[in-house]
Amino acid sequence: MPDHSLESLLGGLRAAADPSRLRLLSACAQGEWTVTELTQVLAQSQPRVSRHLKLLADAGLLERLREGSWVFYRRAQSGTGARLARSLCRLLPGDHPDLVLDRQRLAAVRAARQEVAAHYFAAKAASWDQIRSLYVDETKVEAALLNLFAERPPRNLLDIGTGTGRILQLLAARIGFGLGVDLSREMLAVARANLDRISLRNCQVRLADMYHLPLPDGGFEAATLHNVLHYADDPAAVLAEAARVLAPGGRLVVIDFAPHQLEFLRREHAHRRLGFADTEIRKWFAAVGLEPEEPARLQGDPLTVVIWSGRRSGALEHLPSQRLSAGEVA
C-alpha cells in the first residue's frame, strides 16, 4: 500500500476513534442528514456534533454537501476513507443500546420528513402538473423525453413517483405496458382518473415506496424518475432500487434540476435537494452498475432541467408486457 494511503488510513482511524463519531458514521450510512437532524439523533449540542462531523469529513469518512443554507452529510462513496467507513460500519455491534436508539431516532426523523411531504402532496394533488412545470417549459421536457425513447421504445416501463400519471400518459402509445408507483394515495387517485379519462388500458398504478419497490429484480426495460429525486432524503438509495428492477440493457431516465439556489422551493414545495450536478449523478449511476449516456440540458430561467440516462450492462432482452392482476394493484 502506498505511504499516502497508509497515512489516510491512520488518519481515518484516529478520526473515528470516538463513540459519538462512530454513531455518526453509522447514521450517515443510512441516508443523507443535516446537522440539525443529526443533533436530534445523538441528543448532543449542535457545536459538538458539528465538530465531530468536521473531523470525519476531513478524514474522508463522510462527504459534506453544501446546498444554499443547508449542509448534508453522508458516508463517503469513494476513496480510502470510503473503504474504511464501510469496514467500520460492518464492525459496529448493531445491538448496542446507543445504536439501537439512534436507529429509532433516525426513523422518527425520516417519518417527520415523510409526513411533511405527504401533507404537501395531498394538498397539491389536483394542481400537481401545473406546480411541477414551474419555471420550465414542460412541453420541451416532454418532447426531449419522447425523443429519448423514439429509437427503441421499451416494451414495459416503470414510472417511479408517478404523481398524476403524466409520464404514463405521455409514453403510453410507445410502450406495451406501463406501471406507475407512488406513495401518495391522493396522487394515485388523480392518476387513475387521468388514465381512465383517456382509456389507457395498457397502464396501471400502484401504491408503493420508491425505497422498497414490491417488484422482482430485472423486470423492466425502462424506468423513469420525473422531478422525483429532489424530494428524496436518500437519492442514492432510490437510484439503487430503480436499477435493481431494470433488465440487462434496460435504461433509467432521471429528469430533474441542475444545481440552483432557490431556497423557497424547500420552504414552500417540500424540495429536499436543490438540484444535482452531473458528476454526482454519474457517480451514483456507476455505483449501481449503470453506464451513463450523454445528458440533455434544457435551459430555463432560473431553473435548468437535465435529463440523465444510463443503461444496465448487457444486451436488452425483451420482456413480456404483462399487466398486473387486479389483486396486485392498490
**CA 192 to chain centroid:** 24
- Judge whether 250 and 311 are in contact, CB under 8 Å: yes
Residue 203 CB-density burial (10 A; 0-12 exposed, 13-18 middle, 19+ buried): buried
Cα 99 to Cα 85: distance, rounded to the nearest angstrom: 16
For 327, left (φ over 0), alpha (ψ -120 to 50), or beta? alpha
Instruction: Find the helix or strand (DSSP H, E) in which 180 lies.
Output: strand 177-182
What is the maximum span of the chain, computed from C-alpha positions, in angstroms?
66
pLDDT at 110: 79
pLDDT at 323: 42
Distances in Å between the alpha carbon of 101 and those of 42, 70, 255? 9, 25, 37
User: What DSSP designation does 173 have?
Assistant: G
pTM above 0.85, yes or no: no
**pLDDT of amino acid 88:** 94
**∠ CA 87-88-90, rounded to 5°:** 65
Helix (H) or strand (E) holding 109: helix 97-124
C-alpha dist (Å) from residue 278 to 133, 166, 191, 192, 255: 21, 25, 31, 34, 12
Question: Quick one: residue 165, left, alpha or beta (phi over 0 = left, psi -120 to 50 = alpha)?
Answer: left
Which domains can be identified in the chain, with CATH numbers?
Answer: 3-92 (1.10.10.10), 127-328 (3.40.50.150)
* CA 165 – CA 158 distance, rounded (Å): 11
pLDDT along the chain (330 residues), means of 10: 68 92 93 88 94 94 78 83 92 93 90 69 66 72 91 93 93 93 86 80 90 95 96 93 96 95 85 93 96 93 92 68 39
Grid coordinates representing 34 are 443535516
Contact by Cβ (8 Å): 264, 225: no
Question: Dihedrals φ, ψ of 60, to 5°?
Answer: 85, 10
